[in-house]
Amino acid sequence: EAESIFIMREVVAELERPVLLFSGGKDSIVMLRLAEKAFAPARVPFPVMHVDTGHNFPEVIAFRDARVAGLGLQLVVASVPEALEAGLVRESGDGSRNRIQTPVLLAAVEKYRFDALFGGARRDEEKARAKERVFSFRDDFGQWDPKNQRPELWSLYNGRHHPGESIRVFPLSNWTELDVWHYIAAEGLALPEIYYAHEREVVDRAGMLYAVNEFLAARPGEIVFTETVRYRTVGDASCTAAVRSRADTVAAVIEEVAATRITERGATRGDDRVSEAAMEDRKREGYF
């Protein structure tokens, strides 16, 4: 907590127009709580932004709106459906909107002139994210070059940048999924209900349980069945799978996570299975 709060204060001291990426997922909820603590008793001194693909779980969007309203924060929504309508991006044939979030995000960064973006990525999630610095430099095209990053010896962070360039900042870099859940327990943080065990109609695709919904229909030959599941991570309803679980409390989730050997993205994110370097390829293009 102390490290993350220090990082947030450094950003506000060094950069002019920071924004916190807030999806209503557990990591962004923890980041928002850290921001509250970092600047209390004053208000959080920056807006929050959500890149809305239009394929979100409704429970998560409802939670996002309630949390932002409760804190009186400015919410910036970078809308993928609006970008599709305007012709800025084109939907892929498989219906996934994961990759086309990137140009929408970069357009919003340019429009609002954000020079620092707080993200909830953690190094334990995925190989490409393990390469990230806490202050991750992006060029004036919003792109990431893992070989052109700044050293961070002794936790000294360099936020210097030219106009048009930006810094992605990851206060939770050194946290694990288990750390996040322990913090949720310690702070008594509310989460969207889909993080806890509940019944859903799902289909099994290559060992991953996808909920049948308006964005994901059963394919010919697939069997729809009801299963008790929960979500370890929240992404698009069209590419995020659930896991079988009976964990319906924070304590039960902590016990379950402590015993698992697969990261939440590895267990539930179909978009990361496109190729061995799927995440790194997206990050080079400007993905968060």
Average pLDDT, the chain: 89
φ, ψ (nearest 5 deg) of residue 175? -85, 160
Query: 0.75 exceeded by the pTM?
Result: yes
Residue 207 · residue 242 · CB < 8 Å:
no
| pLDDT of 137 over the 90 cut | no
pLDDT in tens, 151-181: 888 888 888 888 888 899 999 999 999 999 9
In 3D space, the residue among 77, 55, 54, 53 whose CA is nearest the CA of residue 65 turns out to be 77
Give the C-alpha distances (Å, rounded to integers) separating 258 from 175, 182, 251, 254, 263.
Answer: 14, 10, 11, 6, 11
Torsion of CA 246, 249, 255, 256, to 10 degrees: 40
Return the DSSP state at 94: T
- 3-class SS string, 26-64: HHHHHHHHHHHHHHCCCCCCCCEEEEECCCCCHHHHHHH
Distance separating the N- and C-terminal Cα atoms of the chain: 22
Residue 183 pLDDT greater than 90, yes or no:
yes
User: Which tens digits make up the pLDDT trace of 266-283?
Assistant: 767 665 555 455 656 655
Residue 81, classified by CB atoms within 10 Å of its CB into exposed (0-12), middle (13-18) or buried (19+), is middle
Task: Please give the DSSP secondary-structure letter assigned to residue 240.
Answer: B
